[in-house]
Structure 1
Amino acid sequence: MGPDADDRGRRGHHRTRSRRAEALRARYGRGRFLGHGGEPRRAQAYDGELGAAVARAQEGDEAAFAVAYRLVHPALLAYVRGLVGDDAEDVMSDAWLEIARDLGRFKGEGAGFRGWTATIARHRALDHLRRQRVRPRPSALEQDVLELPGPQSTHDQAMEALSTEHALALVGELPRDQAEAVLLRVVVGLDGPAAARVLGKRPGAVRTAAYRGLKRLAERLSAESVTEEAPRTLGEST
Structure 2
Amino acid sequence: MGTGKEQRRTQVCDVELGAAVAHAQQGDEAAFAAAYRLVHPGLLGYVRGLVGGDAEDVASDAWLEIARDLGRFRGDGAGFRGWTATIARHRALDHLRKQKRRPRTSLIEQDVLELPGRADTEGAALESMSTERALERIAGLPPDQAEAVLLRVVVGLDGPATARVLGKRPGAVRTAAYRGLKRLAEQLGSTGRTDGVTSAAPGTLRDTT
Q: Residue type matched to 1:70 in 2? A: R
Percent of aligned pairs sharing the same letter: 74
Query: Which among 174, 180, 187 is matched to residue 154 of structure 2?
Result: 187
Residue 85 of structure 2: aligned partner: 118
CA distance in 2, matches of 1:167, 1:102: 31
Question: What is the correspondence of 1:96-175 to structure 2 with a 5 Å cutoff?
Answer: 96-138=63-105, 153-163=120-130, 165-175=132-142
RMSD across aligned positions (CA) = 2.2
CA distance in 2, matches of 1:42, 1:235: 19
> TM-score scaled to structure 1, two decimals?
0.72
Residue 206 of structure 1: aligned partner: 173
Q: Secondary structure at the match of 1:217?
A: helix
Q: Residue type matched to 1:181 in 2? A: A
CA distance in 1, matches of 2:119, 2:20: 26
With over 3 angstroms needed to count, the CA separation of the structure-2 counterparts of 1:179 and 1:153, relative to structure 1, is: same
Q: Secondary structure at the match of 2:177?
A: helix
> TM-score scaled to structure 2, two decimals?
0.82
CA distance in 1, matches of 2:43, 2:29: 20
Unaligned runs of 5+ in 2: 107-117, 197-206
Query: Which among 35, 45, 49 is matched to residue 78 of structure 1?
Result: 45
CA distance in 1, matches of 2:136, 2:8: 30
Residue 113 of structure 2: aligned partner: none
CA distance in 2, matches of 1:55, 1:37: 27
Residue 60 of structure 2: aligned partner: 93
Question: What is the correspondence of 1:24-43 to structure 2 with a 5 Å cutoff?
Answer: 38-43=5-10
**Structure number with bigger Rg:** 1
CA distance in 1, matches of 2:191, 2:145: 21
Shift of 1:43: 1.6
Query: Which among 12, 35, 39 is matched to residue 68 of structure 1?
Result: 35
Shift of 1:188: 0.7
Is the 1:138–1:173 Cα contact (8 Å) retained in structure 2? no
Aligned length: 186
CA distance in 2, matches of 1:76, 1:164: 12
- Structure number with greater CO (CA < 8 Å, separation at least 6) is 2
Q: Residue type matched to 1:197 in 2? A: R
Structure 2 residue 43 is the aligned partner of structure 1 residue 46 = no
With over 3 angstroms needed to count, the CA separation of the structure-2 counterparts of 1:235 and 1:193, relative to structure 1, is: closer
CA distance in 1, matches of 2:142, 2:33: 35
Shift of 1:235: 7.4
Q: Secondary structure at the match of 2:69?
A: helix
